[in-house]
Amino acid sequence: MDIGKTGKILLADIGGTNARFALSLSDQTGPIDIDYVKVADFPTVREAIADVLARRSGGEQPTRAVLAVAGPVTNNRCVMTNSPWVIDGNELQPALGFDRVHVLNDFEVVAWSLPALQPADLVPLGGGDGLPGEPLLVVGPGTGFGVSCLIERHGSRLAVVTEAGHATLPAENEREERVIACLRRRLGHVSIERGALSGSGLQNLYEALAEIDRVQVPHRDAAAITKSALEGSCPVSRATLEMFCAILGSVTGNLAVTFGARGGVYVAGGIVPRFREFLAASAFRARFEAKGRFQDYLRNIPTRLVIKPDASFVGLKMFADHTSD
């Protein structure tokens, strides 16, 4: 028996370990119920989606699917880095009976969420009010360093996806130059992501600071470094977190100037919300603005920390609504 199609949309946020799915009505404005799935439980994304639809659709086939994936997307297709799944929208569309399937990079989806985020979803980190209609930038230290920019022109929106995390890490002072020199000996090219602004980057910073200061420290991962920094139990961990925040400010300011992000700059990702008070009291904002003759330009740009845990689903719905015609 054919399943009747409805105005429902399948939304998904797919990572290497877990995938989250939700069914939303095209005109739904309230919260949605999210279904959590372990990637290892299904050989393919097609089987995972079929299982979710069998359990949750009530026999009503969604017309469209919008899927956010943690990886690069080319021609509506993503080969996942940390799982065996291949997310191919052009194959899923006929196989599962959708009219359309969109596959988007996960940070592209976060960029789509920005206009819909509410004050309760954000922690202000300085700056003015931003200019309406101007580009919105989002950066995110996590497993990697994500960057995307939402641009609106003549009623149309476009989220620019970048690989900015793989650009070269800049130094703002002699101590940072010494850290980068240390990392260069270990890594060769020192990118923004590997050198500082990610989980592994935070660990690399910690080890480099210990080396240049000739201090013996225990092995710590990013979570342990953050914990000991906030507790004040390890001076090297605290110096690491301070440098992380300062570098985040410099890099984010560079990106704000690059994209002309006068609408506002947002910090997302899995790391920074764990130490929001520390970030607010750090050199982040001062370093964001420290761009010489362009300091006044940057002073007016607001910076905000995204603390909404399901912002990706806001972005998925925003994209679905914008592309409904």
- Rounded to an integer, the average pLDDT of 225-242 is 97
Task: Label the pairing between strands 77-79 and 86-88.
Answer: antiparallel
Residues 92/49, Cβ–Cβ less than 8 Å: yes
- For residue 106, which of 90, 82, 84, 124 has the smallest C-alpha distance? 82
**Which pair of structure tokens corresponds to residue 140?**
């995110």
Residue 6 has a pLDDT of 55
- Residue 13 · residue 312 · CB < 8 Å: yes
pLDDT category at 17 given cuts 50, 70, 90 is confident
pTM of the model: 0.90
Mean pLDDT of 292-311: 95
Q: What is the percentage of the chain residues whose pLDDT exceeds 90?
A: 81
User: pLDDT for 114-131, tens place per residue?
Assistant: 999 999 999 999 999 999
Whole-angstrom CA distances from 140 to 44, 54, 260 are 28, 34, 18
Backbone angles phi, psi at 12, to 5 degrees: -150, 145
Report d(CA 296, CA 231) in Å as an integer.
36
- Would you say residue 4 has pLDDT above 60? no
Mean pLDDT of 8-32: 82
Residues 6+ apart with CB under 8 A from 235: none
Residue 140's pLDDT band (cuts 50, 70, 90) = very high
Buried b (16+ CB within 10 A) or exposed e, 165-175: bebebebeeee
Question: What does the pLDDT read at residue 219?
Answer: 96
* Residue 303 CA to its chain's centroid (Å): 15
